[in-house]
Structure 1
Amino acid sequence: MEGPDLSEVLEPETGVPVVELGLVREGEDGTLYYKPISPYTPQILVIALGIELVLYTRRRVKLENYYLEEEINKRLEMLYEAISDQTT
């Protein structure tokens, strides 16, 4: 993955970098796809890590394989658009 070093982004429950756990992958369009460590990961931790990934990378981040992914993805997209508008 190009861009910021994702080995500095830690999974909140374990404290292990998300790349070491294989929780983030890059899509063909440059979007980062994030899969929580467990389907039972508390919502606040999933949301916090999604926000951190958007702010750290300045890229689109989409959550996958989580029961609230549709709602959280809407919010992550809003954040991405807001920071993109500020940089243009």
Structure 2
Amino acid sequence: MEGDQVSCLENLKSVIEPETGISILDLGLVRVTKEGDELVITYIPVSAYTTPILVMSIGIQILKECGKIKVMIDNYYLKDEINRRLEVIRNELSRISSKTIT
């Protein structure tokens, strides 16, 4: 699990916050926690009222860079809706990647 966390954080250096042009890691907008055995990446937008499409885009980029890790949005007015959508995407990605083509 520790290796997953390190590679995930390395990959997140390439995720740029669109309003500032700076990495979400450099801005300190990412929190890493654990829920049981599961790693959780929480993204905190620069503003509670950032355009929703930008927040959703960052969440999807985090999913892309970190694989099956749970992604959450915090301190945002639409966090519940976006978190539900990110979980649906995560589950679908897990379902697709678990299928093997023979």
Give ranges in structure 1 of 5+ residues lacking alignment.
none
**Which secondary structure does the structure 1 equivalent of 2:86 belong to?**
helix
The count of aligned residue pairs is: 88
Shift of 1:39: 1.0
Within 2, Cα distance between the matches of 1:56 and 1:18?
13
TM-score, normalising length: structure 2:
0.80
TM-score, normalising length: structure 1:
0.92
User: Does the alignment pair 1:76 with 2:76?
Assistant: no
Q: Identify the residue that residue 10 of structure 1 maps to in structure 2.
A: 16
74-83 vs 3-12, greater mean Cα deviation = 3-12
Percent same amino acid among aligned pairs?
39
Give ranges in structure 2 of 5+ residues lacking alignment.
none
4+ runs deviating over 3 angstroms: none
Deviations 1:47-79 (A, max 9, x none): 111111111211210000101000000000001
1-10 vs 11-20, greater mean Cα deviation = 1-10
| Greater gyration radius | 2
Within 1, Cα distance between the matches of 2:95 and 2:6?
22
